[in-house]
Amino acid sequence: MPARERRRRRRLTRRELLVFLAVLGPGIIVNMVDTDAGGITTYSVSGARYGYNLLWVLTITAVLLALIQELVVRLGTVTGRGLAALIRERFSLRVTALVMLALVFTNFANTVSNFAGLAASLQLFHLPPLLAIPPLAFAVWWLVVKGTYKRVEKVFLVVSLVYIAYFISAFMAGPDWSEVGRSLVVPKVSMETSYLVLAVTNIGTTIAPWMLFYQQSSIVDKGLDADKLAYERMDTLVGVFFAVVVGMLIIICCAAAFYYKPGVGAFSITSAEEAAAGLAPIAGKYASYLFGFGLFSASLFAASILPLTTAYTVCEAFGWEATIDRPYREAPQFYLTYTLFIVGSALLVMIPRINLVFIMVASQTLNGILLPVIVTFMLILANDRELMGEYANKPRFNTLMLVSLAFLYLINLAMIVSTFLPSG
């Protein structure tokens, strides 16, 4: 190859890299937020109770997540419309209203669970939640209400870096890496109810309906079109990779610290904050602090994204102004939804001795019903040649998606049933 041609190709690669960096955001953010308080709890309990035996489940989850998010990326970049808008235009006001109602409820419950995670992590650092939650809630509210999308996205991308805490915690716990490697690809299936429930919950907490709406809306808000499809696919793959790796590291950390250490009551770990506190005598107080810091940041991150995605989705569905680049008077429904979610969740968590179990279980059940329904809608939309043109689904991708969808229906049915079973 002549030197000039080589130089030209190098320039092209650099240009492509710059475009990729500009596009970077929606895919990474949505996948990192996915590792929220509920996710961290599930991964912690999985590692503490079953060691590395559930790692293979996350390998399958990564494939499912990548497939579903590819649909989101294609729908967003090709149509230039949010998922809620597309559902509304295709499936009528009544169907949209039902979907929105379910989504608002599940998102609110998830936001409450993240504020609860925030409160628990604050206690690890001996900070009283009653004093710390109001200013933190105000900070996330302020960031969106007073910010622009570019600024908010930059802050969120920087916050994503806190997940490095889990890399360090996992290494400090001293896992057997060769055993980890084997468990990633060789499934160790147990027929114990508790094991099966955790396997299903791992998939269910990693793929949530809200993330599909959020990612597509932020792709549209960022103005990414079909020309940027390849870059946004890359952004999503990077996000899926890191989200699954973080999930795996939490499992590895808790497995090494609790499951493989004789005398440590692995089954006594029932939450992320217990896992963080339990790490101190085993892996040192810094590993415990890092784990707790990860929980704090993830909860805070999710507590701001979930209200944002709800506001986006509801406004898109009903046609109200929905962008963080507009002032309050131009998008009142958007800011009201966002504010009510943050204030309501923060207040609910601050009520002493409140039992949030019912709202969490109900939200998990609704999530389980909603996800396959939304993916079915997406599949119908992605097959609409009038809407998607040359980017409509190809037969091979459809086969792959139909198999995944059948698996999702099965998994979510199992998850709904499991929420009513004692998990042991």
Partner 1 sequence: MEEGQVYLASLLRREVRDAKDREVGHVEDLAFDLAAKPPVATDIAVHLQWTDRIGGLLLPRPVEDIVLLMPWSEVEAIEPEAVYLRHEHPEFEVASSEGKLLLRRDVLNKQMVDAEGNRLQRVDAVILKPEGVLLFLEGLQVGMEWFPPGRRMERIVGKLRRRYNRAGEENIIPYEAILRVDEGELVIRT
Instruction: For partner 1, give the closer residue by CB, 75 or 371.
Output: 75
In the complex, minimum distance from the CB of residue 337 to partner 1, in angstroms, rounded to a whole number: 12
**Contact present, 75 and 86 (Cβ < 8 Å):** yes
In the complex, minimum distance from the CB of residue 359 to partner 1, in angstroms, rounded to a whole number: 25
Instruction: For partner 1, give the closer residue by CB, 92 or 148.
Output: 92
Asked whether position 289 contacts partner 1 by CB under 8 A, the answer is no
In the complex, minimum distance from the CB of residue 80 to partner 1, in angstroms, rounded to a whole number: 8
* Stretch 325-384 residues interacting with partner 1 (CB under 8 A): 330, 332-333
Instruction: For partner 1, give the closer residue by CB, 100 or 414.
Output: 100
Instruction: For partner 1, give the closer residue by CB, 42 or 96.
Output: 96
Binding mask 225-264 vs partner 1 (x if CB under 8 A, - otherwise)?
Answer: ----------------------------------------
* Stretch 131-170 residues interacting with partner 1 (CB under 8 A): none
Instruction: For partner 1, give the closer residue by CB, 88 or 228.
Output: 88
Binding mask 68-107 vs partner 1 (x if CB under 8 A, - otherwise)?
Answer: -------------x---x--xx--xx---x----------
**Contact present, 246 and 163 (Cβ < 8 Å):** yes
Instruction: Give which of 160, 171, 198, 214 is closest to 56, Cα–Cα.
Output: 198
* Stretch 311-330 residues interacting with partner 1 (CB under 8 A): 315, 317-322, 330
In the complex, minimum distance from the CB of residue 325 to partner 1, in angstroms, rounded to a whole number: 13
SS3 content of the chain, % helix, strand, coil (to 5): 85, 0, 15
In the complex, minimum distance from the CB of residue 103 to partner 1, in angstroms, rounded to a whole number: 16
Instruction: For partner 1, give the closer residue by CB, 192 or 321.
Output: 321
**Contact present, 210 and 341 (Cβ < 8 Å):** no
In the complex, minimum distance from the CB of residue 92 to partner 1, in angstroms, rounded to a whole number: 7
- The site that binds partner 1 (CB under 8 A) totals a number of residues, namely 17
Instruction: For partner 1, give the closer residue by CB, 16 or 330.
Output: 330
Instruction: For partner 1, give the closer residue by CB, 88 or 222.
Output: 88
In the complex, minimum distance from the CB of residue 96 to partner 1, in angstroms, rounded to a whole number: 8
In the complex, minimum distance from the CB of residue 301 to partner 1, in angstroms, rounded to a whole number: 28
Q: Which residues bind partner 1 (CB under 8 A)?
A: 81, 85, 88-89, 92-93, 97, 315, 317-322, 330, 332-333
